[in-house]
Amino acid sequence: MGEIVKFRKPSPKDKAEGKTLCRSGFHKWKIISERKFDVKQGKLVTLRRCERCGKEQTILR
């Protein structure tokens, strides 16, 4: 006979892992594209993406 595997519900702590920091504004930014040039504004553009939640942010320099 096979083994009986008990399934458990994930706790609220397990569900929210990695998302609570982003909700509080503490993102983990990673640079995706560096030094693109924006023709309309005449500035360099850096694209950053959060590793946890996937939110993107552009920075003009």
**CA 31/CA 59 separation, integer angstroms:** 10
In a domain? residue 12: no
Judged against a pLDDT cut of 70, whether residue 43 lies above it is answered with: yes
In a domain? residue 38: yes
- The per-residue pLDDT for 57 is 92
What are the DSSP E strand ranges found in 1-61?
29-38, 43-50, 56-60
In a domain? residue 22: no
Q: Residue 42 — left, alpha, or beta (φ > 0 → left; ψ -120 to 50 → alpha)?
A: left
- Domain that residue 31 falls in: 27-61
Give the count of alpha carbons within 13 A of 59, CB side only. Answer: 12
Q: Tell me the pLDDT tens digit for each residue of 24-34.
A: 888 999 999 87
Closest CA to 59 of 50, 49, 46: 46
Domain count, the chain: 1
Q: Among residues of the chain, what percentage have pLDDT more than 90?
A: 16
In a domain? residue 18: no
- The per-residue pLDDT for 22 is 85
Judged against a pLDDT cut of 90, whether residue 20 lies above it is answered with: no
The model carries a pTM of 0.60
